[in-house]
Amino acid sequence: MNYVTTKDGAKIFYKDWGTGQPVVFSHGWPLNADAWDVQMLFLQQKGYRVIAHDRRGHGRSSQTGTGNDMDTYADDLAAVIDELDLKDAVLVGHSTGGGEISHYVGRHGTKRVKKMVLISAVPPLMLKTAANPIGLPKEVFDGIRASTASNRSQFFKDLAMPFYGYNRPNAKVLQGVIDEFWREGMLGSVLGEYECIKQFSEVDYTADLQKIDVPTLILQGDDDQIVPIDASGRKSVEIIRNATLKVYPGASHGMCTTEADKVNADLLAFLQS
């Protein structure tokens, strides 16, 4: 198994398949790099080098008691990118991973980055504030914290339903998808996952988005029940220079799974453009 050791001694697990231009994936909460399997397999077969890491406190990476914050997440991503000496990389982030790759650019710039893709991503800010009235109330995230702390196993099974839009009428519910969501969530540290909630909900990524100076594709469903599109994708496209937003009608937050063929095609087209 591949690991990069960070400055504070944490071991960050990563997958690294194929050759060619590198495409680096950052996963959402409470998942890990396995959430990208469909995209990674597809792009590796198209001639790209695909890399995905488990965020600290998630998956197979160290379950640290400290450093479960976005500054450290971004620096961990930089440690992987620097260790592999990646150049002209395309960064792809889903949900919390969209915040991670944005904050990576905010802290480390785009010298190693050619393009970026934000999918159902949390930037610029999920939390409702006076300056962000269309955000979600803090009580929503307090509820996520309480459920994670009290019985995360049941919570992850319940959360998978709106995550993939399986609570909608006539939705085709796939038990295997729910089981995989639960499996990935339970691999992580309850402490790391708990502390990560603040990072995806309360961090304001506006300044990071303003520093993105490479072509950026934003993909999001207009039925995203986890990260509502009006406060995320539709705002981010107005902040990032040279950004394009593609809306998937009726698509859920977990569109990399439920709309995998469309997402894969859009990623490949963007990579080739």
What is the domain count for the chain? 1
Please compute the mean of the pLDDT values over residues 224-229 and round it to a whole number.
Answer: 98
Residue 41, domain extent: 2-272
**What single-letter amino acid sits at 1?**
M
CATH of the domain at 75: 3.40.50.1820
Two tokens at 133?
A: 């009235």
pTM > 0.85: yes
Say if residue 104's pLDDT is above 90.
yes
Say if residue 1's pLDDT is above 90.
no
Q: Left, alpha or beta for 170 (phi > 0: left; psi -120 to 50: alpha)? A: left
Angstrom distance (rounded) from CA 51 to CA 206: 26
Q: Could you report the per-residue pLDDT of 9-46, keeping only the tens digit for each?
A: 999 999 999 999 999 999 999 999 999 999 999 999 99
CA distances, 196 to each of 35, 47, 102, 141 (Å): 17, 34, 16, 11
Active site residue ranges? 95, 224, 253
**Collapsed DSSP state (helix, strand, coil) of residue 216:** strand
Are the CB atoms for 25 and 50 separated by under 8 Å? yes
